[in-house]
Chains A and B, each alone.
Chain A
């Protein structure tokens, strides 16, 4: 809560992290650790982390990408090919001075380079090694290749995401890798809390991070033998408004009051007054609601309805959120340097201590 606290007051002050990771999951794990006070050294291959070339780019279109910058600012960068004997020796040397090593190569890769768990543990018995991989360090899928869409597929999220008459969906940005980075950070800190004379090896499977978080998807089978169909719950009724989309569903018990708020006498009809009536006349209600909402803007509807006590939602874009009074008041964004002479706001992270 204290915005002016010194760095030494941050939770991970004094923790030394050696980051051998690339792409998104590992770098986001060490992003969070750096935000929380850890000193992070990122080892990057001389050819560069491939995510440097993933759009979007800053104005002018030059690499590194915005994703690379977001994930890796405030880390000390060392260019090194860790697959060579010289690279191996340098990694072992740095590992001796580190509390944590984070990596996300395919399982077995570090062992092949002489810097796997056994070698690192021998070099520094107290070290925590966090390995993030698509499917974990063992099992039949260990060597399978994957990106987010494949993770969402095998993890079970895609099957329940989208229109039942169309193909499943994956998220619009690399959510699976980001989330595994969060889980990896938690597991790493749990391991750090548990370091006595010996560290340990933390094994994070991106697929399992997804499978662990599907609410009733698995109990529906293990309690009832049922396989749920996509598009049959959750989500809420996303409806177009003047400049985007809102979710006008959580209006609580008093629909008449909601119609008042919307300044929509056409909704204050007897047939929509009760839950039963609204269900019976659902298509008609949806059409009427759609018509009413074209008179409302995203933020006008959302903030107005919430002020009246309706727990509605709105689909807010990043562009709109940059001006969002709530996020501004809470100073959610901070400015970082993208390149000399150019700065950008970035999210500060989800955790305030």
Chain B
């Protein structure tokens, strides 16, 4: 086994929400030592959602499930950067680090005296990655952005949605993740360049540009053919059928994507070769495209009687690309992911009273390096003393002075205890499909029968 790819690399994170925290989490998965800097007086809203059994408890800021899922593997400290002593601590951390990542709006780090121009003075080969909605330069540099608004501005959202209807974006900030993946890539490219040339760099990533880059063909189509894109449903230009089909049970669907006449023959045989499917008009792609509504309708009549998973297995056994639309519940109990050990069980910080849980891995595996689920996310300020004393080497007296100065900020007691809507209410309103009261037992039972699914 090799060491982890980023072993020995230290990363300072000034991140919030998703695009940078999730990127830094991936760097931690790759073996970097990530120190997450938070402000106790401005809680990350991911600390304020998805509580165990929907119960915020007393220290609600240490009970957010979404926070744990996006921040594992890091050390955590609190700094109130309005305090000049805190800024000095932040600078001392830069002196002994390789990378700083941040996603404040453009001017914020500069206002704290922590902009790239400030940092190169104290650490000339520092790599600083800034992730903003629209980029660090240009007339929109100060525009406010969140995941959905950068997705919508990227040129991708306008193609997505039911045919003839308004665009539809997913219920997660999709483009935050597209940007997070490129934030990771930007840091790795800068590290590789530094290894080769010894030079640090400033990495400027615009979420809109990150997303628009994953749509080059749409931009060329607009430029060369004057096409103004609109939502076109699930259909595909060179595959048919290409759609979700209904199955038995509430909100159960199976995707079917036929990319060749051979796969169409496989689908016919899976259906038991019904007479309607033998019609010559469906034999080739052109005919299937020309009669797609009829084809989708006929297929839906057939799929409706199937369990989605059984249908997927039947179709795949006939060489037809097909897959169940899986929910969060389906994913944690998925046999394929379990066999690949995709989830790993992690414990939670002392005092949070949260039982061990499975967490999703990252999208990569290495034959020689470990996969990186090392420890869970830190409680707020959990590593203040460790980082300042053991990593920065401050004396006990100096540490005490810093605490007394208020530079670390207090506990976030000025926030009101949240009062989430009850799961029974959400279920009644239809905002959740199901609520498994015995989910902990189910997770444990699945783990006991699938030991490959990461270690506890």
Contact = CB atoms under 8 A, between A and B. Distances in A.
Interface in B340-385: 340, 342, 354, 357-369
Nearest to A325: B139
A71 B364 CA distance: 22
Contact of B172 (A12, A214, A302, A311): A214
A11 B189 CA distance: 6
Contacts of A315: 152-153, 157-158, 167
16 contacts: A65-B217, A145-B316, A145-B321, A173-B156, A175-B156, A211-B331, A221-B327, A223-B50, A225-B436, A229-B432, A310-B144, A311-B143, A326-B139, A327-B208, A327-B212, A330-B138
Interface in A36-63: 36, 53-56, 58-59
Nearest to A13: B196
Contacts of A219: 50, 65-66, 68-69
Interface stretch (A90-98, A235-243, A271-279, A281-289): A235-243
A154 interface: yes
A344 interface: yes
Nearest to A196: B2
A193 B366 CA distance: 13
B148 to A, nearest CB: 4
Interface residues of A, number: 153
B69 to A, nearest CB: 5
A172 B230 CA distance: 9
A234 interface: yes
Most buried by A among B6, B220, B223, B244: B220
A16 to B, nearest CB: 14
A117 interface: yes
B1 to A, nearest CB: 10
Interface in B302-337: 316, 319-332, 335-337
5 smallest A-B Cβ distances: which pairs?
Answer: A172-B159, A313-B149, A311-B144, A225-B439, A350-B210
Given A140-B335, A185-B185, A228-B171, A167 B234 contact: yes
A268 interface: no
A347 B325 CA distance: 32
Contacts of B291: none
Contacts of A338: 220, 224
Contact of B328 (A182, A191, A218): A218
B186 interface: yes
B218 interface: yes
B102 interface: no
Contact of A319 (B18, B222, B245, B367): B222
Interface string A328-346: 0110110000100010111
Given A150-B321, A193-B192, A350 B242 contact: no
A150 B205 contact: no
A245 B167 contact: yes
Contact of A350 (B4, B140, B196, B209): B209
A156 to B, nearest CB: 5
Contacts of A347: 209, 212-213, 215-216, 219
Contacts of A270: none
Nearest to A198: B368
A215 to B, nearest CB: 4
A141 B180 CA distance: 27
Interface stretch (B73-81, B251-259, B272-280, B406-414): B251-259
B185 A218 contact: no
Interface string A103-137: 00000000000000100000000000000000111
Contact of A208 (B146, B214, B224, B337): B337
Contact of B324 (A154, A169, A215): A154
A167 B204 CA distance: 38
Interface in A225-278: 225-236, 238, 240, 244-245, 247, 250
Interface in B191-241: 191-193, 195-197, 201-206, 208-229, 231-232, 234, 236-239
Most buried by B among A166, A170, A226, A231: A226
Nearest to B142: A306
B134 interface: yes
A217 B217 contact: no
A322 B219 contact: yes
Contact of B137 (A159, A201, A223, A330): A330
Contacts of B319: 145
Contact of A144 (B2, B153, B316): B316
Contacts of A233: 171
A147 B246 CA distance: 19
B133 to A, nearest CB: 9
A170 to B, nearest CB: 5
Interface stretch (B51-59, B106-114, B118-126, B396-404): B51-59
B77 to A, nearest CB: 24
Contacts of B221: 56, 66, 318
B325 to A, nearest CB: 4
Most buried by A among B53, B145, B148: B148
Contacts of A172: 156, 158-161, 229, 231-232
B437 to A, nearest CB: 6
Given A194-B2, A223-B357, A314-B152, A139 B339 contact: yes
Given A150-B323, A230-B251, A234-B169, A156 B149 contact: no
A322 B220 contact: no
A14 interface: yes
Contacts of B66: 215-216, 219
A296 B220 CA distance: 27
Contacts of A148: 257
A201 B139 CA distance: 44
Interface stretch (B36-44, B82-90, B423-431): B423-431
Given A66-B224, A149-B236, A219-B69, 15 more contacts: A66-B220, A140-B339, A159-B330, A160-B172, A161-B169, A164-B430, A186-B185, A189-B192, A208-B342, A215-B70, A227-B432, A232-B431, A234-B147, A318-B227, A350-B210
Contacts of A136: 340, 365
B152 A238 contact: yes
B5 interface: yes
A153 interface: yes
A153 B433 contact: no
A186 B436 contact: no
B178 interface: yes
A326 B138 contact: yes
